[in-house]
Structure 1
């Protein structure tokens, strides 16, 4: 065993490595294999639409590769406001928008701006654990609010209320949620709003998947409700909707007086979002939406196939109302999520992620991302079905 370097030995206790070891282990195994079908990450397999890429090239040729203001290009912020109004009935002005390096940076900026040591932050669970990390880095305490398969992982307002204490600072609402794809119904959104006002808590409404809603489900943006815009931060971005994960453009929308306080912290984090990427994002909002609609149709087809195939394999799940994930219960195999994913990868070359990576230790669940062409998804399911059948016979 080697001695730690002075840097590693003196790392601040706020820095922890919870999911990284398992993720790195899986990536290391996959790197030594051929014909791996990756259905773990939330990275769309589609190309960024051509007109968006072309807009970036034009921006480069026009010498648009210098700093912008910390809050982003004025024309992009105007386009974001127009889109929020058209798509979600949200009323924001450009001075209420900060363009960030993906929603990931927005999350950190929110926590830096609002969380003080000892504050409790309620978070829909299972969950995207970046929220946990950001809260802890600011001295806060993440408090999971559980959701359940029997409810298709939709939020129950009673589960929120019974976890509210005098230390509760805010509630993080992600709808559709990652990793479950659960959409919180409008009537529940309204009840959460009433709860926020009653207990004087703040809301982060993470709408990154809000454009990806399947028939029978409806998205309601929290800040449209009476008394909620002033206590809500709306987060959204371009990564999932426009297959722009690597471009790193997201944004937050909040009351102007709060946004003004975050300009200098935002400048400190990264000065501004990549200028060329901002021009690409502008083209995404103002250009043709045909490819986006085709992508959504493909997701719907993949979702329908997977739901049937998983049922045929004897697995259950919460029916996803949005996004591109199916949170699948593999307890019938006699294995826990992490062991299932490790064995599946090494034996079949299919890479999935366990619920352990979404705030659920010793999880009975796996997250399946349907971000592969349908023929590859069918091949993956064939391998998964054989893998499961082999274990059931052995049992």
Structure 2
């Protein structure tokens, strides 16, 4: 075994061990294969719509490649504020918005601004574990709030309340959720708002998937409820809705005095979000939405097919009310999720990820993302069915 370097020996205690080894192993396996059907990552398979790309090119041609202010282009913040008002009934002014390098940077900025050593942060679980890392970096303690398949992985306010302690600083709600696709119903969101007031805790509402809501489900923004704007930070961005993952544009919206306090820390992190990407994001919000409607229609068709195919394969799942994931229970195969995922990749070339990568203590679940064309998804489901049949027959 190699000795630790001097740097690792003197690593600050805020850097905790985060297990990325399984993800790395899966990616290394896939790198040595051809024709892998990737249904694990959360990266849309569509190209960024042409008018958005054209806006970025036009910005370059106009020499718009210098710094912006740390909070972002004024025109973009105006457009974001207008969009939040029109689509989510959220009352934010342009100067209550900070444009960040993806929602990832917004998450880190929030934790830097709010979390002190020893603070507890409640987080919807299974979860996007970037939150854990950000909380750890600030000396805080992430506290998972479990959701369950029987509830379609929607939040249960009772599960939140019984984890609130005098050290609870804030609660992070991600709806629609990654990895489950769960949409927490408006009635439950109102109960969560009441809990926040009762216990005087702060809220982060991560709404990055809020435009991806399927019929029969309803999104309600926490900060639109009476009294909630004062204790809520709303996060959103462009990566998922507009197939702009690599452009790295997200934003946070919060009361003005809080935004002012975080402006210099945001400047310290990266000065500003890529200027060209900001012009692209402006075109995304203010330009035609036809491409987004077509993408969403394709997601809906893929989702409907997958739900039927998984049921036919004898697998259960929580109802995916939004986003583009189905959190699938593979316990009936007799295999633990990490073994299932690695075996499936090695034997069939289909790559999905285990729930253990999303903070799930159970080994019963995998996350399937439907970010491949429907013919490829059909091919993948055929291979998954064959894989399950082969392994069930050996038991």
Report the TM range for the smaller structure's normalisation: over 0.9
Residue 9 (structure 1) shift: 2.3
TM-score, normalising length: structure 1? 0.99
CA–CA separation in structure 2 for the residues paired with 1:315 and 1:361: 19
Q: Distance in 1 between matches of 2:271 and 2:317?
A: 42
Aligned equivalents of 1:279, 1:390: Cα separation in 2: 51
Match of 2:36 in 1: 36
Separation in 2, partners of 1:362, 1:290: 40
CA deviation string 1:136-191 (max 9, x = no partner): 11000000000000000001111101111101000000000000000000000000
Aligned residue in 1 for 2:67:
67
Offset, 1:375: 0.5
Name the SS of the counterpart of 2:267 in structure 1: helix
- 1:113-132 paired onto structure 2 within 5 Å: 113-132=113-132
2-side partners of 1:5 and 1:29: how far apart? 28
In the alignment, what sits opposite 1:84? 84
Q: Hey, what does 2:266 align to over in structure 1?
A: 266
* Alignment pair present for 1:18 and 2:8: no
For the 8 Å contact 1:338–1:362, the answer to whether it is kept is no
Q: State the Cα distance separating 1:4 from its structure 2 match.
A: 1.9
Which residue matches 2:3? 3
Corresponding position: 1:136 with 2:139: no
| 2:294 counterpart residue number | 294
Q: 2:319 is matched with which residue?
A: 319
Partner of 1:364: 364
Correspondence for 2:154 = 154
Instruction: Report if the CA contact (8 A) 2:16-2:136 is conserved.
Output: no
TM, length-normalised to structure 2: 0.99
- Alignment gaps of 5+ in structure 1: none
Structure 2: state its 5+ residue gaps.
none
Deviation at 1:303, TM superposition (A): 0.2
Kindly indicate whether the alpha-carbon contact (under 8 Å) linking 1:124 and 1:145 is maintained by their aligned counterparts in 2.
Answer: yes
**Which runs of structure 2 are paired with 1:235-384 in the superposition (5 Å)?**
235-384=235-384
1:111 is aligned to 2:120: no
Residue equivalent to 2:93? 93
Aligned partners of 2:116, 2:16: CA distance in 1, in Å?
Answer: 19
Cα separation, 2, equivalents of 1:188 and 1:51: 38
Q: Which moved more, 1:175-184 or 1:2-11?
A: 2-11
Deviation (angstroms), 1:362: 4.6
Per-residue deviation, residues 3-22 of structure 1 (Å, max 9, x unmatched): 22212222223223423111
Question: The residue matched to 1:394 in structure 2 has which SS?
Answer: coil
Instruction: Give, in whole Å, the separation in 2 of the partners of 1:303 and 1:371.
Output: 10
1:259 is displaced (CA, Å) by 0.3
Contact 2:18 2:133 (C-alpha < 8 Å) held by counterparts:
no
Q: What secondary structure, in the 3-state scheme, does the structure 2 residue paired with 1:2 have?
A: coil
1:197 maps to what in 2? 197
* Counterpart secondary structure, 1:236: strand
